[in-house]
Amino acid sequence: MMRPPPAQNPADVAVQTSEEAEVLLAELERSMDALIAVIDRETALVRDGLLFAAGDLEKEKSDFAAAYLKLRGRLKASAEVIGSLAPASAERLRQRHEEFAALLRINLAVLATAREVAETIVRNVSTAVGKRTAPPVYGRNAAPAAPRLGGARGIAYDRSL
């Protein structure tokens, strides 16, 4: 017995008219705007040192990114058709996407800097604690022994900033 083909989601159907192209481009632009707003907030929070508050945006950012990627996949599937049906809107979206890519580079640089600063702080704390917990011992000729460089044991931190 043959099974009927699964019903297609209207959002997954290829674009065939200029109206459908305009609607898809507008949806993608709105989705990009929502994602940009969250990324801007995240960048501002990280710059202000509010890392936990920035982390609270992760779910929202993930949801907006998923919606954006789904729409972008649909756009890619019909890119040539959309380019011919709505050339002005497609060009505007292409330019906005270039601006979006630049914003993402800034956001990633801010996040990388914050992560590096946090790792440096933890490394310095580990070294300081390690020096404090090292027993004072003397080497040959009653000279102080060279400090251990291993840092403190038992300090751990989460690298998933």
Q: Tens digit of pLDDT for each residue in 17-44?
A: 888 889 999 999 999 999 999 999 998 9
Confirm whether pTM is higher than 0.85.
no
Residue 72 in any domain: the answer is yes
Q: Is 37 helix (H, G, I), strand (E, B) or coil?
A: helix
Residue 107 in any domain: the answer is yes
At 20, list the tokens: 């459908």
DSSP state of 138: B
Separation of alpha carbons 21 and 11, rounded Å: 12
Residue 142 in any domain: the answer is no
Per the structure, the count of domains in the chain is 1
Residue 6 in any domain: the answer is no
Residue 113 in any domain: the answer is yes
The phi, psi pair for 150, rounded to 5°, reads: -70, -15
Q: Contact, 96 vs 26, CB < 8 A?
A: no
**Residue for token digits 């192209």?**
21
30: containing domain: 15-132
Q: Contact, 61 vs 35, CB < 8 A?
A: yes
Q: Contact, 153 vs 132, CB < 8 A?
A: no
The phi, psi pair for 47, rounded to 5°, reads: -60, -35
Q: Contact, 136 vs 72, CB < 8 A?
A: no
Residue 158 in any domain: the answer is no
Residue 33 in any domain: the answer is yes
Residue 136 has pLDDT above 70, yes or no: no
Residue 123 has pLDDT above 50, yes or no: yes
Q: What was the pLDDT predicted at 157?
A: 61
Residue 149 in any domain: the answer is no
For 140-154, write each residue's pLDDT tens digit.
Answer: 666 666 655 554 555
